[in-house]
Amino acid sequence: MPDLSIDLDDPAALAVSPTVLSVPAPLMARFERARLSSTSNTELVLDALRAHLADLPRLVAEARRPAAADAGEPFPWRASAQRGKAAKVRRVQLPIRPLAGELQVMDALVGWVQQQIGAGPRSLGGRITRSEVVVAALDAHLPVERPRGRRPRA
C-alpha cells in the first residue's frame, strides 16, 4: 500500500479542489441511482475508493484487459470494424469537489496503481489516470441493476 498520510495541520489541505472525472455513461447511470442515498458525488467516490483500496491495482488491470482476449482473439488490442462500433462507450463528466488533501491521496493511489501494474508511458497500457482508478472503484462498488421483466417461475 502507498503512504496515504497527509499533514492534518496543513490549512491548504482543506481547500476545495473541484475536479471533473470522465466516466462511461452506463456507469454514470448506476452512479446517479446510488447518489440518491449519498450526500454528494465526492462522498460516493471516496466511499468507493475506501471500499476497494487494496483491490485497485487488480480492478484497473482487469478493466484494461481487452475483452477479446478471453475469446481467443489473436489481435485483442485492436478492434475489428464491427466490434469497434459496439465497443465504443460514450463518456460523460462526473464533477466532484474533494479537498486538496483528498485529491493528494487520490493521486498517491493513482501512482501506486501505476507502479503495481507496471503500466508506464512506454508500455502498451500507457499512463493511468485519476478517472481510470475512480471508474474501476465505482464499477466494483456500485450495484448493477438487473434487467426488469418476468421473474422465472419457481
- Assess whether pLDDT exceeds 50 at residue 124: no
Report the percentage of the chain scoring pLDDT > 90: 55
The pLDDT of residue 4: 84
Question: Please, which pLDDT band fits residue 8 given cuts at 50, 70 and 90?
Answer: confident
Counting every residue, how long is the chain? 154
pLDDT(109) > 60? yes
CA 62 to chain centre: 11
Question: In terms of pLDDT, which residue wins out, 84 or 128?
Answer: 128
pLDDT average, residue stretch 83-89: 61
CA distance 17 to 37: 23
Helix/strand/coil (H/E/C) assignment for every residue in 25-50? HHHHHHHHHHHCCCCCHHHHHHHHHH
Residue 106 has pLDDT above 60, yes or no: yes
For the chain, the average pLDDT equals: 83
Q: Is the pLDDT of residue 141 over 90?
A: yes
Instruction: For residue 153, name the pLDDT band (cuts at 50, 70, 90).
Output: low
Query: At residue 130, what is the residue type?
Result: R
